[in-house]
A and B are shown apart, each in its own frame.
Chain A
């Protein structure tokens, strides 16, 4: 039937104040994870980036020592 849109191609610039609509949050979908769970998710590109950063910087290190009487056992990796 006849409307301003069908006859003239005209559209209202703003919705009528009489039209009530529910505002939807933008950019958030329901299956997204949040908090710590999202930080450690392997699909999170930040995780892979973080691992790569640590390897490159040579900061991965592990050291430990056990002392049994006079004998001391030490082990280390990745750092002198």
Chain B
């Protein structure tokens, strides 16, 4: 008897079972699934990397990464403090590779927090009290109430915080990794129902030296663990056919860092722009001072003209100082993005994406305009790009 092969199609550049792209049939019939993709596991250690093989099932739209555990400070504690990388940049880089596309997502933990608040304006940090430096802060922390930046009895830790005494601090952090650009339509989701590919999540943990300054005789032991939940949609069968939503696009979040900035106007060229790409958002921050740096608050005292530019000198949007962009961001997102972490965003997709997204095919030499009012000391900029690009095309 002649064997009959299962018909296959190509989705997102990989061979997949026979499915039909039919959003109208998919949405009413699919089932949202939430299940562990990685059980709670000790982290590999500060400065190390954990790699997770994700479950190859359904259509993956998001990941929830939780980091939980304790930090035990001992010895002679004098001179021990946290840096501005703590707590969110404990995740130095989170990378997702799927369906032949390496590093679809490649950014640090703070970028994920900023993007989460930018993409979900129903979420806010109003009234969530967190310790930043010597003060308790209730706005602009980018923290949810469930989180714990470090608690030892009545002592609450946070960034730039001097550890007052030895002891054990509990920690609980949560990151949302947006595989899909839009959690409603699922545009940008990853088709995972195929054995023809690997879905991997790599988490680089920040080094201890970048997270903490330890006094001469102080010690630190961590017992941190992480776990990963997947948000997945089932592939329903409608009228005898397996149906999927529009999976023609990949969602990419990339980040780069440069120290080539100084006082006055700076134009930071966004790498990787090209035909077929749509820019949804770009976020940036500037840090200065002793490594690993202190973020510059988004104020008129720190930032002059801010904008984005392409071609020779086309500047579609420009504000006269950092405070104005901070106002715009707070109106858009419902959080004060720039007050504590120094983040600012140009958002093209929250209000009306069809109208506002930037077609990179028509904006050559796309770049950010950042004017620094003062001469910075050992500055560096961190720039995050959120884009959509056609799935069969290389990243």
Binding site for B on A (CB under 8 A): 1-14, 16-18
* Interchain CB contact under 8 A, B393 and A3: no
User: In the complex, which residues of chain B have a beta carbon less than 8 angstroms from the beta carbon of A1?
Assistant: 23-24, 27
**Complex interface: chain A residues within 8 A of B249 (CB):** 4, 8, 10, 12
Interface assignment of B359: CB less than 8 Å from any CB of chain A: yes
Contact A4–B246 (Cβ < 8 Å): yes
C-alpha spacing A12/B23, complex, angstroms: 16
**Is the CB–CB distance between B357 and A9 below 8 Å?**
yes
164-194 of chain B: CB within 8 A of chain A: 181-182, 184-188
Distance between Cα atoms of A80 and B72 in the complex (Å): 119
Task: List the A side residues contacting B391 at CB < 8 Å.
Answer: 12
* Interface residue tally for chain B (C-beta within 8 Å): 32
Chain A neighbourhood of B248, CB < 8 A: 3-4, 10-12, 16
Pairwise interchain contact A2-B9, C-beta atoms closer than 8 A:
no
> Which residues from B are CB-within-8-Å of A3?
23, 185, 187, 246, 248
A13 CB to closest chain B CB (Å) equals 4
Q: How far is the CB of A20 from chain B (nearest CB, A)?
A: 10
Let me know if B388 is at the binding interface, CB within 8 A.
yes
Write out, one digit per residue, whether chain B residues 1-17 have a CB within 8 A of any chain A CB (1) or not (0): 00000001111000000
Option from B8, B11, B181, B392 in Cβ contact (under 8 Å) with A14:
B392
Residue from the set A4, A5, A12, A16 with the largest chain B CB neighbour count within 10 Å:
A4
Closest 3 CB pairs of A and B: A18-B9, A2-B185, A17-B10
CB distance from B255 to the nearest CB of A (A): 21
Q: Which B residues are within 8 Å of any A CB, using their own CB?
A: 8-11, 23-24, 27, 181-182, 184-188, 245-246, 248-249, 275-276, 278, 280, 349, 353-354, 357, 359, 388, 390-393
Asked if residues A8 and B9 are in contact (CB atoms below 8 Å), the reply is: no
Whether B187 and A2, one on each chain, are in contact in the complex, defined by CB atoms closer than 8 angstroms, is: yes
- The answer to whether residues A16 and B245 also contact, given A7-B185, A10-B388, A11-B390 and a CB cut-off of 8 A, is no
**A-chain residues with CB within 8 Å of residue B392 when the two chains form the complex:** 12-14, 16-17
Measured between beta carbons, the chain B residues less than 8 angstroms from A7 are 182, 185, 187, 353-354
Q: Which chain A positions have C-beta within 8 A of B276? A: 11, 13
**Min C-beta distance of B26 to chain A, whole Å:** 9
A2 to chain B, nearest CB (A): 3
A13 and B303 alpha carbons, distance in the complex (Å):
39
Tell me which of A5, A10, A17, A18 has the highest count of chain B C-beta atoms within 10 A of its own C-beta.
A10
The residue on B at minimum CB distance from A16 is B10
Give Cα A40–Cα B62 distance, bound, in whole angstroms.
69
Min Cβ gap A19→B in Å is 8
B58 to chain A, nearest CB (A): 18
A13 engages B390 (CB within 8 Å): yes
B343 to chain A, nearest CB (A): 23
Q: Which residue of B lies closest to A6 (CB)?
A: B354
Given A10-B249, A13-B276, A14-B390, CB of A4 within 8 Å of CB of B187:
yes
Of A2, A14, A17, the contact of B246 (CB 8 Å cutoff): A2
**Chain B residue at minimal CB-CB distance from A20:** B9
Measured CB to CB, the nearest residue on chain A to B184 is A2
Q: How far is the CA of A23 from the CA of B213 in the complex (A)?
A: 67
| CB closest residue in chain B, given A11 | B390
- Additional A-B contacts beyond A2-B185, A16-B248 (19; CB < 8 A): A1-B27, A3-B246, A4-B188, A4-B248, A4-B249, A8-B278, A9-B354, A10-B187, A10-B249, A12-B249, A13-B390, A13-B392, A13-B393, A14-B390, A14-B392, A14-B393, A16-B392, A17-B9, A18-B10
